[in-house]
Amino acid sequence: MRGTHFSHPLVQRFLAVAQADAAGASAALRLPLQHVGQGDLATRCGMGTLAAGTVQAGDAVRVLPAGVQTRVQTVQVAGDTVTVTLADDVALQPGAMLVAAEAPPEVADQFAARLLWRSERAMTPGRQYLMQMACQEVTATITDIKYREDGCNGIQIPAKVLAQDETAFVNLATSTPVVFEPYEVNQVLGGFVLLDKQTHELVGVGRIEFALRRASNVHWQALEVNKAARAAHKQQRPRCIWFTGLSGSGKSTIANLLEKRLHAEGRHTYLLDGDNVRHGLNRDLGFTEADRVENIRRVAEVARLMVDAGLVVLVSFISPFRSERRMARELFAEGEFVEVFVDTPLEECERRDVKGLYAKARQGALKNFTGIDSPYEAPQAPEVHVRTTHLSPAEAAEEVLQRLERR
């Protein structure tokens, strides 16, 4: 937890709250590895800065998160840097941690934490960020804001989003398990920062309080029939074709025509349409930024299950934010996600206004409407870019189909 970001008085006060009551860092060995050896020593040699405890030749240690146990063969100290050679080949990786074999820290992927939000853009649950803690870097998502804490009197206030310099007690999930200890036990293994995944701007500073019980109680069930088997049975390559664009751009029309073509060719498909999904799965969601993020998170997870079932799934959602479309893409294997940008100018969408929504938005009767008072972030490098001012819906569907066949 170093750098100019942490010299801000508000950040220092936030971190000092736990430091004042801390009983001190764990006395057991905690050595995050920033670097590992090269050549013959690649799997046995690592170096880093001690976060707690001491290390000597002959000590029994575990390599986390893998959990492999071995012994220390040699130790070299140069300033703050400790270089350790292990007795066994254990495939060390940067970000791994050497810990005392009989007193390991916890490993989990879901936590309760206190978070100080530092970005001008509000924090929305469900959005993905980069989490850095000790030498570990993973994708992290705030899954729930339990409450916001009033800065003056500590009153707990319900909240759906966090504004700049607000503090909250939150639930946090990471893409892979991380090695940690509560901040009050070890500030290095319990303190973290959140970065914007695209710009790497620091957006939040946090302190882990404890692991959530479901992090250790819920396990992945191995199944005999996998995606490859289902795809082979259907004799097709499963994919997610993700249509994005403004309301009225023609997404659903083009997606519907494309599904008809695929179905006629004997493909096994399913079309997830934004309006249709809001009649069932997402009927509880509105159109605030937080609800839009959750809307896309849910449909992306459904699409992933459908691809796992061996289907070609077409998704037609405005999906206005790049961060959520990137989140959806990361759920799929390489080449499985095809982003189709249905590019129609706002003026043309308003001229069509097939549902009368733009007129209501212009009159102020429809809040948070994409393109009017809520932003649309156009794709920067979609697999398919369809310009509907130059193509009919049928021609656009044909263009998408041809691009799919070439991939």
Residues forming the active site: 319
- Contacts of residue 2, defined as CB under 8 A and 6 or more positions apart, other chains included, come to none
Cα(275)–Cα(294) distance, rounded to whole angstroms?
15
Q: Smallest Cα–Cα separation from 358: which of 342, 374, 377?
A: 374
Cα(287)–Cα(367) distance, rounded to whole angstroms?
8
- Contacts of residue 196, defined as CB under 8 A and 6 or more positions apart, other chains included, come to 119, 129, 130, 203
Q: Smallest Cα–Cα separation from 107: which of 221, 208, 1?
A: 208
Specify which residues 341 forms β-bridges with: 244, 385
Q: What is the DSSP letter of 363?
A: T
SS (H, E, C) 129-152: EEEEECCEEEEEEEEEEEEEECCC
Q: Smallest Cα–Cα separation from 242: which of 333, 331, 317?
A: 317
Tokens of 168: 């909250």
Q: Smallest Cα–Cα separation from 28: which of 103, 138, 87?
A: 103
Identify the sign of the CA torsion 297, 303, 307, 308: positive
Q: How do beta strands 337-343 and 384-387 pair?
A: parallel
Amino acid (one-letter) located at 37: G
* φ and ψ at residue 204, rounded to 5 degrees: -155, 155
